[in-house]
Structure 1
Amino acid sequence: MEIRQRVLGFITARFPLAELTGSEDIFSLGFVNSLFAMELVMFVEKEFGITVPNEALRIDNFRTADSIAALVQRQLSVTA
C-alpha cells in the first residue's frame, strides 16, 4: 500500500487537480505523455532504489499506480 501511495503522490504533485485511485489508467485519462512517462520511470528507480529492466518498460507496467507498485515489488524481490 505504501508504494502505491508514494506513486500516487508523485503523480498528483504534477497534476494537483487529479483525484486518482490506484486502479485508474493514467494513460487513458490523459495524464501521461512521453516526457512524463520517462519522469515516472526515473522516479520509480530513484524513489525505490531499483532498476527497471528494459523488458519491464511496457505500458501495462505503468498504466496504474497498482501496476507500478506491483512492478516495484517484483523488482525489490529480485534484488533482495
Structure 2
Amino acid sequence: MNQAKTQIKNFISRFITTHDLQEDEDIFTLGFINSMFAMQLVLFLEQEFKITIENEDLDFDNFRTINAMASFIERKLSETVLVR
C-alpha cells in the first residue's frame, strides 16, 4: 500500500505544486479539486492500478485523502482477486 500512496501523491503533486500534501489531508476541503481534476484522478487510478471504478465507487470518501485512495485501491484489487 505504501507504493500506491507514493504513486498517488506523485500524481497529485504534478497538479498541486504550492502545497506538500500529506497522506491524511482532505483534498476537497483544501480546495485543490475541481471537476476536471477529479475525472483525471479517477482515470489515473484506473489506469495506474488496473482497476475499474464503477458509478457506486464514486463516493467522495474514497477519494478525500491519499490514505483513503490507497485503501480504496486495495479493496478494489482484492475484489478482483476474489472474482477470479
What TM-score does the superposition give when structure 2 sets the normalisation length?
Answer: 0.91
Q: Give 1:77 deviation, angstroms.
A: 0.5
**What RMSD, in angstroms, separates the aligned Cα atoms of the two structures?**
0.8
Equivalent pairs, count:
80
1:11-63 deviations in whole A, cap 9, x for unaligned? 00111222011100001111100111111000000000000121110111000
The aligned residue for residue 26 of structure 1 is 27
CA distance in 1, matches of 2:50, 2:28: 24
- Residue in structure 1 matched with residue 15 of structure 2 by the alignment: 14
Aligned to 1:77: 78
Give the TM-score normalised by structure 1.
0.95
Identity %: 45
Aligned AA (2:70): A
* Residue ranges of structure 2 left out of the alignment (5+ in a row): none
